[in-house]
Amino acid sequence: MLAWITALASRTRAWLSAQRADQEFENELEIHLEMLTEENIRRGMTPEEARRAARIRLGGHTQLKETNRELQGLPMLETFLQDARYAFRMLRKNPGFTAVAVLTLALGIGANTAIFSVVHAVLLKPLPYGNPDQLYNVFQAKPQEGVGGTGWSYANFTELREQNRVFSEMAGSQQHQLTLTGRGEPAVVNTSVVTPELFSLFGEKPLAGRAFFPEDGKPGAPPVVILSENLWRSSFGADPNTIGSAINLDKRSFTVVGIMPVAFRFPLLTKSEQLWIPLVQDPLFGGWMERRGGHWLQVTGRVKPGVSMTQVRAELDAFAARFAKEFPAENDGWTIRMVPLQQMIVGRVRSALLVLLGAVGLVLLIACANIANLLLTRATSRAREIAVRTTLGAGRTRIVRQLLSETAVLGLLGGVTGIVLAYWGVQALGSLLPENLPRVNAIRVDRYVLAFALLLSAIASCAFGLAPAWFAANSNLQSSLREGGGRSGESRNRRRARSFLAAGEIALAMVLLVAAGLLLRSFSKLMSVSPGFEAQHVVKADISLPRFRYSTPQQWAAFSDEFLTRIQAQPGLQDSAVAVPRPIADGFINLGFDIVGDPPLSAGTSRTANYVSVSVNYFHVMGIPLLSGRLIDRRDVFSSSRVTLISKTMARLYFPNQDPLGKQLSFAFPPDSGAPREIVGIVGDVRDVALGQDPGPMMYVPYAQAPFWGANMVVKSTLSPPSVASAIRQEVQKIDKDLPVTDVATMPELIDASVAQARFRTMLLGLFAAMAMVLAALGIFGVISYSVSCRTNEIGIRVALGASRSSILRMILRETLALALAGMALGVPCALAASRLVGHMLFGVSASDPATLAAVTFALAAVVTLSGYVPAHRAMRVDPMVALRHE
């Protein structure tokens, strides 16, 4: 081993000083020769004779030098460099071929690298916390009622946190927004409402000040707040005296105790300006801590090292059973589950990203098939060169090595160009990516992504290099030489390989086109679906009320009443209303309810509907039609009897074959829990959760009877959105100068944003499918062109013997169509299988949609025929005289 290493070292040294070593050896041989010559002269030879004999005695000069060089240097590396140099020369000699091959490959690798950078950042990169694989989201679920992952009540969480034996730490959190005042313009800041253990759970130290102490989470503790570094910089000018100072959140004074470094992000929001307050201090969630029921606290836990998943599951099951036994009213039927935190954060986008990665992989595969085809073509015309090399003594492995070096150089060029494209692609992606994609900030071309790109180009080089090299190595030497390197000498095997590659390209392109077609159709259906309200000219704006000052429902109702009266008095703002939550814009509140007078439901079933609180003008502003009964009007005030409207679907679902008007509902939601509400009207359905989700049952209550803090406005106006916003701002300032008006947006914008992810994947998949189709068309074009040029002779004879030009055209087109049919026959089953992968992303289209399949088949057949037509046309115009003299 040691000897081997010293030999290698000495070889490397010699190789590095190869020039000198060569010269030295030359001298040595020369001296040897002189000595031999002298001896021969002494033996009586003439000087010429002596010199000649000496040469023979010493052995072939060149051969000796070659052997010496081989022994001295690094032969593998040297032959590779030699091959690479030769490959560069070959590539430079064929700039057209090189450009096409490198560009094709660069496109493939660039697209793959760009998508991989997203996959890596979103799915693969560990979360930016210490030992992130120990972190789990622990949630509650009630499977028999179809209730998936929900949060915890504070009481249940505390019991689990204090008494479990499997988690080293657990923390609860919730997110919402508070209004920060006292520093210039009032601002709404992202607020994480947390239990004090959050920071120790993630193992993060503050940049300055301290994290929360357990006492900060106890009732009666003085209000404290921790700022994120970016908030501290942007809103507090990075003032070192911020710690210890007081800030106002929702009109209540909080003492700043710490600043968390920019590296710490929890939750992983797009914006890094945020703050953390103890749960007990929150104006909203703080009031919910006492209740055993309710599922609102998001719980994250760190599993103790060495504890198995089975142990954790057993412990969680035991707690679920205990809760159900001790507090059956709130806990019966609830189970406790957990998922890795990473999966919780990225779970929803995972499959879409993987589909995109698969799609872009197919594009690269097609690119490789194209290049393999080009190389096969070239290998055929190079058959003579290779035959000559073989005759001159090059071994089969040597030939294969040389051809593979050529493809390696090609792959490297493509890879490097691809990386450049990827840099550019990642930037382009950055502006395309939907904002709500988790971890979007982490996307970049880093060393992992670079390694992936290089690995990919190596794999790709092998993929497109092996077949040509194999054919070259196995070609029949004699026939190659005899045929004089003519083009007609393409072997049948090779032609079959080329046709197979081309058909394969068509099949792969078909898979992508079908998937893209399905997504495109689905997206156009999504965009043309009616949301159930008229979004045009509707602007929304949020006015957040400081909950510590406006603390009672009566105050909230009074505020919104005064506010709406003032706004509606403004020119152009007559059609204004307040609603919580607004469709698409705000999410939804799903509530269980009872129908008064109906027998109680059997265990395990429940009635739920989405709950909305709206002001008088709402249905008019949103253009939601009244179907029967009456709308909410001025009579429905806080002191009058409780009323509700229901949606068409709710009437159909819960009041089949009966008139719902006059019936009463009751549901447990503040501020008037359990009060019976009379159904006074039925309104049209609204897609409130998402455009792609069918309308569910909904109920509307008068805002005056069920107000919220703040005013989430909708205004239908012909004024421009900015003037609407400034008019609202003016009026709000007159009521209270500390109230911020935020999140102004038009409803069409919001609807647009709600389909951003669908648009993104549709666009990207469409782009990849287009690339695939162009590449496949190029592939077909190449194969047919080559076939035509090989058959020039034959075509000439046919024409000379009287074949009509159109019959020549037909002959070539038939060949093209045969390829297309073979490709599609292969492609249809693959496409059907693959389209199942996108099935869950489709809206209003089935994964085996025959129209899409037919359209794709037709389009592909047309494109393939077109790409075969150009060479076929050329074949048609072959001049028999020229063709027969050809070669």
Partner 1 sequence: MTGDKSKILQGTLDLMVLKTLEAMGPLHGYGIARRIEQISEEALQINQGTIYASLVRLIQKRWISGTWSTSDNNRKAKFYSITKAGRKQLHTEAQNWERISTVIGRVLRIAERG
**What Å distances lie between residue 95 and 88, 92, 101, 408, 409, CA to CA?**
11, 5, 10, 17, 14
Closer residue to partner 1 in complex, CB, 67/234: 67
Binding segment for partner 1 among 41-49, 65-73, 752-760, 816-824 (CB under 8 A)? 65-73
Phi-psi region of 46 (alpha: psi -120 to 50; beta: other; left: phi over 0): beta
Q: Name which of residues 664 to 703 contact partner 1 (CB under 8 A).
A: none
Q: How far is CA 612 from the centre of its chain?
A: 33
677/666 Cα distance (integer angstroms): 6
Q: How many whole angstroms separate alpha carbon 721 and alpha carbon 748?
A: 12
Give the contacts of 744 (CB within 8 A, at least 6 positions apart). 539, 540, 541, 721, 722, 724, 725, 728
CB closer to partner 1, 25 vs 80 = 25
d(C-alpha 81, C-alpha 74), whole Å: 11
For partner 1, the closer of residues 60 and 130 by Cβ is 60
Say how far apart CA 418 and CA 583 lie, in whole Å. Answer: 43
Q: Which of 20, 47, 60, 82 binds partner 1 (CB under 8 A)?
A: 60
* C-alpha–C-alpha distance, residues 469 and 407, integer Å: 9
Q: Does 40 bind partner 1 (CB under 8 A)?
A: no
Contacts (Cβ under 8 Å, ≥6 apart) of 596? 663, 664, 665, 666, 676
Q: Which is nearer to partner 1, 325 or 396 (CB)?
A: 396
Pick the stretch among 52-60, 456-464, 734-742, 792-800 that binds partner 1 (CB under 8 A): 52-60
**Helix or strand holding residue 502 (H, E):** helix 492-528
What is the spatial distance between Cα 710 and Cα 580, in angstroms, rounded to a whole number?
Answer: 10
- Strands 167-181 and 224-228 come out as unpaired
CA dihedral in degrees (575, 580, 583, 585; nearest 10)? 100
For partner 1, give the closer residue by CB, 73 or 418. Answer: 73
Taking the complex as a whole, the smallest distance from the CB of residue 478 to partner 1 amounts, in Å, to 25
User: Rule CB under 8 A: is residue 637 a binding residue for partner 1?
Assistant: no
Would you give the distance in Å from CA 146 to the centre of its chain?
Answer: 28
145 is a site residue for partner 1 (CB under 8 A): no
Stretch that binds partner 1, among 33-41, 167-175, 302-310, 519-527 (CB under 8 A): 33-41
By CB under 8 A, which span of 25-33, 98-106, 323-331, 678-686 interacts with partner 1?
A: 25-33
Segment near partner 1 (CB under 8 A), from 19-27, 250-258, 594-602, 744-752?
19-27
Q: Which stretch binds partner 1 (CB under 8 A): 55-63, 232-240, 312-320, 641-649?
A: 55-63
Which one of residues 16, 71, 569, 825 is an interface residue with partner 1 (CB under 8 A)?
71
Q: Residue 683's beta-bridge partner residues?
A: 626, 647
Q: Nearest approach, Cβ of 81 to partner 1 (angstroms)?
A: 21
Binding region for partner 1 (CB under 8 A) out of 1-9, 197-205, 484-492, 545-553: 1-9
Q: Does the protein bind partner 1 through residue 7 (CB under 8 A)?
A: yes
Least gap, CB of 58 to partner 1 (angstroms) = 5
Rank residues 39 and 678 by Cβ distance to partner 1 and give the closer one.
39
- Where residue 136 falls (left for φ over 0; alpha for ψ -120 to 50; beta otherwise) is beta
Helix (H) or strand (E) holding 355: helix 341-381
For partner 1, which residue of 57, 165, 291, 496 counts as binding (CB under 8 A)? 57
Q: Which is nearer to partner 1, 63 or 528 (CB)?
A: 63
Nearer to partner 1, 65 or 729 (CB): 65
Q: Is the peptide bond before 829 cis (omega within 30 degrees of 0)?
A: no
* Residue 715 binds partner 1, judged by CB under 8 A: no
Q: Does 238 bind partner 1 (CB under 8 A)?
A: no
The number of residues that bind partner 1 (CB under 8 A) is: 26
Q: At what angle do helices 75-93 and 95-119 cross, to 10 degrees?
A: 110
The tokens for 342 are 């990473």
Q: How far apart are CA 135 and CA 679, in angstroms?
A: 47
* Between 23 and 552, CB nearer to partner 1: 23
Of the ranges 28-36, 202-210, 672-680, 763-771, which one interacts with partner 1 (CB under 8 A)? 28-36
Using CB under 8 A as the binding rule, whether residue 17 contacts partner 1 is answered as no
| Residue 64 is a binding residue for partner 1 (CB under 8 A) | yes
List b or e across 246-276, with b for residues whose CB sees 16 or more CB atoms inside 10 angstroms: ebbbbbbebebbbbbeeebbbebeeebbbbb
**Does 6 sit near partner 1 (CB under 8 A)?**
yes
Say whether residue 24 binds partner 1 (CB under 8 A): yes
Q: Does 72 bind partner 1 (CB under 8 A)?
A: yes
Bridging pattern class, strands 608-614 and 590-592: antiparallel
User: Under the criterion CB under 8 A, does residue 52 sit at the interface with partner 1?
Assistant: no
Residue located via tokens 């009521």: 735
15, 18, 26, 29: which one binds partner 1 (CB under 8 A): 29
Query: Closest CB to partner 1 among 13 and 734?
Result: 13
Q: Which of 34, 633, 659, 887 binds partner 1 (CB under 8 A)?
A: 34
For residue 397, the minimal CB distance to partner 1 (Å) is 14
Give the one residue of 47, 59, 287, 829 binding partner 1; rule: CB under 8 A. 59
Give the interface segment with partner 1, choosing from 2-10, 246-254, 410-418, 772-780 (CB under 8 A).
2-10
Q: Of these, 16, 31, 263, 833, which contacts partner 1 (CB under 8 A)?
A: 31
Which positions ≥6 away from 264 have C-beta within 8 Å? 128, 202, 204, 228
Quick one: which of 541, 546, 572 has its CA closest to 712? 541
Contact call for residue 58 and partner 1 (CB under 8 A) = yes
Task: Check binding of 35 to partner 1 (CB under 8 A).
Answer: yes
Nearer to partner 1 among residue 10 and residue 131 (C-beta): 10
Q: Which of 46, 67, 536, 846 lies at the binding interface for partner 1 (CB under 8 A)?
A: 67
CA 137 from centre of chain: 22
State residue 811 phi and psi, 5-degree precision: -60, -45
Beta bridge partners of 578: 713
Beta-carbon count within 10 A of 240 CB: 9
**CA triple 323-325-328, angle to 5 deg:** 80
Q: How far is the CB of 11 from partner 1 (least distance, A)?
A: 7
Are 578 and 682 a contacting pair, CB within 8 Å? no
| Candidate residues 40, 68, 248, 499; the one interacting with partner 1 per rule CB under 8 A | 68
DSSP letters for 562-587: HHHHHHHTSTT--SEEEEESPTTTS-
Q: What span, in angstroms and rounded, lies between the C-alpha atoms of 133 and 639? A: 54
The region of 31-39, 162-170, 495-503, 593-601 touching partner 1 under the rule CB under 8 A is 31-39
* Distance (Å, whole) CA 147 – CA 105: 48
- Residue of the chain from 15, 22, 26, 32 that contacts partner 1 (CB under 8 A): 32
Question: Which of 23, 28, 253, 444 is in the footprint of partner 1 by CB under 8 A?
Answer: 28
Round to whole Å and give the CA distance between 492 and 495: 5
For residue 723, state whether it binds partner 1 (rule: CB under 8 A).
Answer: no
| Options 15, 18, 22, 25; binder of partner 1; rule CB under 8 A | 25
Residues between 245 and 264 with contacts to partner 1, criterion CB under 8 A: none
The Cα 565–Cα 561 span in angstroms is 6
Q: Toward partner 1, which CB reaches closer, 7 or 735?
A: 7
- Please identify, among the stretches 6-14, 157-165, 177-185, 719-727, the one whose residues bind partner 1 according to the rule CB under 8 A: 6-14
Shortest distance (Å) from residue 44 CB to partner 1: 18
User: Whole-angstrom Cα distance, residue 784 to residue 782?
Assistant: 6
Q: Which residues bind partner 1 (CB under 8 A)?
A: 3, 6-7, 10-11, 24-25, 27-29, 31-32, 34-36, 39, 57-60, 63-64, 67-68, 71-72
